[in-house]
Amino acid sequence: MKHSVSEITLKNGGKGLLVHVPSASVMTFDVNFRAGEFLVEPDKWEVPHLMEHVVLGANELFPKARDFRAEMEKNGAYSNASTNVYDIVYEAECADFEWNRVFDILLVSIAKPLFLDDDFKSEYGSVQEELRARSNNHFRRLTLEMRQQLGLLAKTDAERLKLMHNVTVKDIKSHYSKTHTAPNMRFVIAGNLTPKRREYIESALENIALPKTGRRYMLPNEKVHLLDQAVYIRNKTIDNLYFYIDTFLGRRLTDPETDALNLVNTMLTETLYSKILGTARERGLVYDMNSGLSQTKDISNWWFGAQVSEKNAPALMDIIIVELKKLMSGEIDEKDIEATKQYSLGRFQRSAQTVGGTAAGYSNRYFFDEVIEDYYNIPARIEVIDKNTIISVVRDMFVSGLWGFGTLGGPGKDFSNALRTQIASLWDVPQINYK
């Protein structure tokens, strides 16, 4: 979607991006605060999440949460919020004809919440139900347990449910006061941003009723350590096995390295003719499989995950081992690289067909480290990915020897450890001159 982007720095300390999409029929608003769970004591872990729920409730303009929701959504607008370890994001999307009404209401809800006891009680119950529902997601359960044992900031949903009773309205108000300041605010707003609209938006954000004193909190330092045994979560109610393989590099990836590894993910698991998933499907070993990247302030993580039957798991691990070792030794066909580039280019173009999709192309990175992606340069970045960069970054992801393996399901811990032993040779990276 054709657009232009500009960064503005407000006099009150807030910063953000304005993404102008000419003739767009919708507007999207994402307002971020560095206010996640890393800023609270471990026994108060659920404070940010509960706060996010209550903020989008009763406020100075609408003394009842239900009235706020009704007014916000009366013309089909959408609003929500999300919390993670690092951030809270408030979001809204609406038709172009009512953008300023929705924008004004969103800002009031963020800046003037009432924190009513009744709202706290009702949202307390809602969060309990949300966490119980999430706990039924076996992949989520396994990844949170593994993150904990690897040394990263995380708590399982079951732990979070047990800790909720420690949270009071006073805790929420305190965390809100600490984190919801203008200097800690970042935003990405996208739509048909005419000069008059830009002026209105900038003025509204500059005059938002938040303290002008405060700071943008730095991301926490996190370190991982090698797990010498498999993480095993027993669950006899499921017939197959959920697993994750995590490998780590003790630094952030560069953009060319990230591009190369994203291309490798496509090559290995993202299509039914990919190297790992495609081969496993042809042999009837697995239905689906995924891989991906994540990064903290100091660490890069590459993961693989799937659910597979006990009898097929060793054969699937063999395919993973073979394909990754081929990459590390330089056995890559240039034709495969070029074909994957074409697939990636097509996927990128599809992702940019909506205002929300275009805004998301900027918000994730901007909220994380305030880097403005060169969106129009992404096709060129994909095009210049070469074989040597692929081999180098794949090897680097294994050379540190920091990794973990975990399973959830019926097969016991001994079986899980046997699978871990099977894949351990991946981290014995040979010294090969691949150039």
pLDDT digits (tens, 9 = 90+) for 121-148: 999 999 999 999 999 999 999 999 999 9
Question: Which tens digits make up the pLDDT trace of 137-196?
Answer: 999 999 999 999 999 999 999 999 999 999 999 999 999 999 999 999 999 999 999 999
Cα–Cα dist 369/186, whole Å? 11
Q: Is the pLDDT of residue 402 over 50?
A: yes
Q: What is the mean pLDDT of residues 193-214?
A: 97
Q: Is the pLDDT of residue 435 over 80?
A: no
Q: Is the pLDDT of residue 432 over 70?
A: no
Q: Do domains 4-206 and 231-427 have the same CATH topology?
A: yes
Q: Using 50, 70 and 90 to split pLDDT, how confident is the model at 352?
A: confident
Closest CA to 155 of 172, 402, 163, 53: 163
CATH class of 4-206: alpha beta
What pLDDT sits at residue 434? 43
Q: Per DSSP, what are the bridge partners of residue 9? A: 15
Listed by start position, the domains of the chain span: 4-206, 231-427
Cα–Cα dist 183/206, whole Å? 11
Contacts with 53 (C-beta within 8 Å, 6 or more apart), sequence order: 81, 123, 126, 127
Q: What is the mean pLDDT of residues 92-99?
A: 97
Q: Using 50, 70 and 90 to split pLDDT, how confident is the model at 411?
A: confident
What pLDDT sits at residue 227? 93
What pLDDT sits at residue 202? 98
Cα–Cα dist 34/186, whole Å? 9
Neighbours of 124 (CB within 10 A): 17
More confident residue, 349 or 140: 140
Cα–Cα dist 329/432, whole Å? 7
Q: Is the pLDDT of residue 318 over 70?
A: yes
Fold observed for domain 231-427: Cytochrome Bc1 Complex; Chain A, domain 1 (3.30.830)
User: Angle at CA 26, nearest 5°, toward 21 and 31?
Assistant: 85
Q: Is the pLDDT of residue 197 over 90?
A: yes
Q: What is the mean pLDDT of residues 249-268?
A: 96
Supply φ then ψ for residue 219, to 5 degrees: -65, 150
Cα–Cα dist 426/153, whole Å? 26
Question: Which tens digits make up the pLDDT trace of 10-33?
Answer: 999 999 999 999 989 999 999 999
Tokens 């659920």, residue located: 46
Question: Which tens digits make up the pLDDT trace of 240-255?
Answer: 999 999 999 999 999 9
What pLDDT sits at residue 410? 83
Question: Helix or strand or coil: residue 140?
Answer: helix
Closest CA to 248 of 131, 147, 129: 147
Query: Which residue type occupies 135?
Result: S
Task: Report in angstroms the alpha-carbon separations of 226 from 130, 137, 142, 283, 426.
Answer: 32, 25, 17, 32, 14
Question: Helix or strand or coil: residue 80?
Answer: strand
Give the pTM: 0.93
Contacts with 300 (C-beta within 8 Å, 6 or more apart), sequence order: 248, 249, 251, 252, 253, 293, 294, 397
Q: Is the pLDDT of residue 289 over 80?
A: yes
**226 φ/ψ sector (left φ>0, alpha ψ -120 to 50, else beta):** beta
